[in-house]
Amino acid sequence: MCRENMADFCGIFITILFSTVSVYAREDWSHFTFAQQWPVAVCAEHKVCVIPPTVNGWGIHGLWPTADSKSKGPENCNTSWPFNFERVKTLLPDLKKFWPNLYPDTGANSFWEHEWSKHGTCATSLPATSNELKYFQMGLKLHAQYNLTKILLNQGIITSNTAGYMANETEAALKRELGVNTVVQCVFDKEKTKKQLLYEVEICVSKDFKLIDCLHDESQSSCPKKEPIFYPPLHDKQFGIGVSVI
């Protein structure tokens, strides 16, 4: 325990110690997983869900520092750096359109707060994502660069109420466009359609933001291997999901 006459020294030492631990945690990863989600599938999974009219395509789920050995993490690297909306206020129109919160029963900024606290604080060792503003700017930049609506359309994968696609065919189509392996995630709509829906596409990028192969084995994807997955139209109730639109 620190003696009174050494209190200042101990305070400085403890600050340096925790700063070192925080930096180590942030650097204990090899690449980013950039995840985009299809709003209709998100709303099939969550009972309270709204797709704003400004949303016209795939939305960002998150930009996640990822360790090769675990295909996840680290997470929650710096609890002393809370989300501050004022720092990203200038991005609000783009965040609402491309990184939207689809859960009306949560705070307006809660989704962004969650992503920053859990993932963004782990990315601050890189100059390009060294603070809150840069982190969200990078997510928006990657979304514009890898527009999944256009990428899938280029490969003949279009939204449909009736036509399904096999998960491996979807991943193969993405590889033809991007040149790397991605991971496709699905969700089962157990309430209405009883169908597997295309939920998310995970694209991996290096720390200098170049495309790389995602680590992929059967445990990484939640999609079925032997039944089709469906990619329902946005803002279309015909699929029977009951999406609320404001």
Q: Is 119 a catalytic residue?
A: yes
**Residue 162, CA distances (Å) to 49, 227, 229 in order:** 23, 14, 10
SS3 for 150?
A: helix
pLDDT value of residue 10? 43
Given a contact cutoff of 8 angstroms between Cβ atoms, the answer to whether 166 and 228 are in contact is yes
Instruction: Please identify which of the residues 31, 113, 119, 143 carries the catalytic annotation.
Output: 119
pLDDT value of residue 13? 38
Given a contact cutoff of 8 angstroms between Cβ atoms, the answer to whether 201 and 231 are in contact is no
In terms of CATH, what superfamily is 30-245?
A: Ribonuclease T2-like (3.90.730.10)
pLDDT value of residue 9? 41
- Residue where the block lists tokens 């400004």: 54
Q: Is 235 a catalytic residue?
A: no
pLDDT value of residue 12? 39
Q: What is the pTM of this model?
A: 0.85
Domain-wise residue ranges, the chain? 30-245
DSSP conformation letters of 87-129: GGGGGHHHHHHHS----TTS-TTHHHHHHHHHTGGGSTTSGGG
Both ends of the chain: CA-CA distance in Å?
A: 58
Q: What is the DSSP letter of 67?
A: B
pLDDT value of residue 246? 35
pLDDT value of residue 69? 63
pLDDT value of residue 238? 42
- CB-based contacts of 88, cutoff 8 Å, min separation 6: 95, 112, 132, 133, 136
- CB-based contacts of 245, cutoff 8 Å, min separation 6: 50, 51, 53, 235
Instruction: Please identify which of the residues 31, 61, 113, 132 carries the catalytic annotation.
Output: 61
Q: Please give the single-letter amino acid code of residue 114.
A: H
Q: Give average pLDDT by consecutive 10-residue segment, the chain, 246 residues.
A: 45 40 60 97 90 94 88 89 98 98 95 98 97 98 97 96 93 97 95 92 97 81 94 69 39
Given a contact cutoff of 8 angstroms between Cβ atoms, the answer to whether 212 and 31 are in contact is yes
Kindly report the number of other CB atoms within 10 A of residue 29's CB atom: 23
SS3 for 241?
A: coil
- CB-based contacts of 112, cutoff 8 Å, min separation 6: 83, 85, 88, 95, 99, 101, 136
Instruction: Please identify which of the residues 115, 132, 171, 202 carries the catalytic annotation.
Output: 115
pLDDT value of residue 193? 87
Q: Is 177 a catalytic residue?
A: no
d(CA 44, CA 192): 8
Task: Give the residue from 143, 65, 34 showing the smallest Cα distance to 99.
Answer: 143
Question: Pseudo-torsion of CA 200, 78, 72, 30, nearest 10°?
Answer: 110
